[in-house]
Structure 1
Amino acid sequence: MLVAIQLLAAEPKRPECIAPASAGGAFDLTCKLAQSALMSEKLLSAPMRVTYMPGGVGAVAYNAVVAQHPADGGTLVTWSSGSLLNLAQGKFGRFDESAVRWLAAIGITYGAIAVRSDSPYKNLEDLVKALKKDPSKIAIGSSGTIGGQDWMQTALVARAAGINPRDLRYVALEGGGEIATALLGGHIQVGSTDISDSMPHILNGEMRLLAVFSEKRLNEPEMKDIPTAKEQGYDIVWPVVRGFYLGPKVSDEDYAWWKTAFDTLLASDDFATLRDRSELFPFAMTGDALEVYVKKQVVGYKVLAKEFGLISDPGK
């Protein structure tokens, strides 16, 4: 009861969640998961609004919050591991990973390679053989440009198969929603995406996954038949953490309200049910622990980016 009173006393007046991409993708789903869960747990007395700010796979939203709304205590923005990869390469402009207040990580998913259900590619090796024959004939949809998370997934496969990743034909799109639309519309032949984006289309028979980049097969009933890249001979694992950040000048009081809310949420069985429905797996972290995690991940991504010639010095 004391926690509820403290939360009520500092509740944001106009809570908003910014999804830094078009509607329908994983950022959108992450916002809507928090929207539903915060209401379900009665942590908010009015629904949180979800708005969309596509551009630069998170860069536009990051810059807008930091430069224009740094003290807005009611505005959350979603982030993913791909956001951290882009930060590691300086793709968010003059702002780095220290420019915002990292709030919460609420779940984890895994990268995946998707095709339409009628695709001639039945497994990862079929796709690799076709890419070796003529990479220019296969359009691969990815969220963002060269160096982004989706690009990195297929670049790792290409490198393992002896293919120059820069020979691959990429179509830059804005988020998982656009990748699915382009794939189902026949504008691309392959989608480099993640499993949470893909599952709704897999369950309705429109798409299938050639591989998921997890350590082992996922044990959810609807996922257990999806092969990993590892079992197909490609030792590649790509976890995708999803969460939220706040502007850099948000007050300690507002930050504490949100942290307490998410700590409460992440310990809830009801939230676990909602998270599972969103095709996310458990990964809970808030506050200082999350900031340490984020900065460590960025350092690791800088090393990976240097390996692919995306940055010259991982120390910069």
Structure 2
Amino acid sequence: MMRVSNMPGAGGGIAYAHTVSQRTGDENVLVAASPATILRLAQGQFAHLTEEEVRWVGAVATDYGILAVQPGAPWETLEELLDQWRRDPASIVVSGGSAVGGQDHMKVLLLADRAGIDPLRVRYVPFDGGGEAMTALLGGFVNVFSGDVTQGQAQLEAGNIRVLTVMAEDRVGGEMAQVPTARELGYPVEWVTWRGFYAPAGISDDAYHRWVEVLDQLAHSDEWATVRAQARLDAYFLAGEPFESFVREQV
């Protein structure tokens, strides 16, 4: 049986520092991670710590970035939104569930840059999680929501939002199958929010490969497929040395 311990703080920094300093040789520790983790590492927000301080085990599912507006908003398409954004950057306010410089902010900055909008003129309001950021959109306090497919799917099905784009290589399934990707609209921006794990750096190679095998079995199990579908996550698996190389390249 696995015991789950939640260790919030500093966008994963507390858990990362604890793993590095207190659990470095513990072969029974596996820590959840996402692009938010490596983004903060790339930004130097985990003090002196780097991506080399742990063993990156693997990723077992993925999500994708979206931009959404209210159904009654004046923009039917992403291009209509971007047209106004270019003309009057101050008129567009974006909510997201991450801090300034975090995932939801970076999605918008990348798209703005590709669309010819000065990223420094993007008005981004951070909230404590995607739920609060979505509430801000539904309440009319912001114009645009920056988040993930999993955060917007239920609201889209309920008719509460209009999703203008998905930041994936290909269109996703479900209700969002009709939503174009940013790439097909002429803006090569992808934001893949993988769900993965790392382990302490001091574990043996045997222990590391055992964890890789565990994730392999999990990712290809019927039970995980059910859980993943319930969470509205897409299938994705990358583990072992290829995943470690992937993380280093991303940072």
TM-score between the two structures when normalised by the length of structure 1: 0.70
Runs of 4+ in structure 1 over 6 Å off: none
| Percentage of identical aligned residues | 37
Cα deviation, 1:14-58, whole Å, max 9, x if unaligned, reads x215xxxxxxxxxxxxxxxxxxxxxxxxxxxxxxxxx36143x33
Equivalence for 1:160: 114
The alignment's C-alpha RMSD in Å is 2.6
Equivalence for 2:150: 196
CA shift at 1:167, angstroms? 0.5
Cα deviation, 1:254-287, whole Å, max 9, x if unaligned, reads 6455433222112213322322332222221223
Name the count of aligned residue pairs. 251
CA shift at 1:222, angstroms? 1.9
Whichever residue aligns with residue 53 of structure 1, its letter is P
Whichever residue aligns with residue 107 of structure 1, its letter is A
Whole-angstrom distance in 2 between the partners of 1:207 and 1:75: 40
Equivalence for 1:266: 219
**Structure with the larger RCO, 1 or 2 (CA within 8 Å, 6+ apart):** 2
CA shift at 1:211, angstroms? 0.5
Equivalence for 1:312: none
Given the alignment of the two structures, is residue 170 of structure 1 paired with residue 124 of structure 2, yes or no? yes
Cα deviation, 1:69-112, whole Å, max 9, x if unaligned, reads 44555543322223222222212221111112212200122211
Equivalence for 2:89: 135
Match of 2:228 among 261, 275, 294: 275
Equivalence for 1:53: 8
Equivalence for 2:197: 244
In the superposition, relative to structure 1, how do residues 160 and 111 fare at CA in structure 2: closer, same or farther (>3 Å)? same
Given the alignment of the two structures, is residue 16 of structure 1 paired with residue 4 of structure 2, yes or no? yes
In the superposition, relative to structure 1, how do residues 243 and 130 fare at CA in structure 2: closer, same or farther (>3 Å)? same
Whichever residue aligns with residue 242 of structure 1, its letter is R
Whole-angstrom distance in 2 between the partners of 1:60 and 1:144: 16
Match of 1:89 among 43, 46, 63: 43
Equivalence for 1:39: none
For structure 1, which runs of at least 5 residues remain unmatched after alignment? 1-10, 18-50, 299-316
Whole-angstrom distance in 2 between the partners of 1:65 and 1:181: 34
Maintained 8 Å contact 2:95/2:144: yes
CA shift at 1:252, angstroms? 5.8
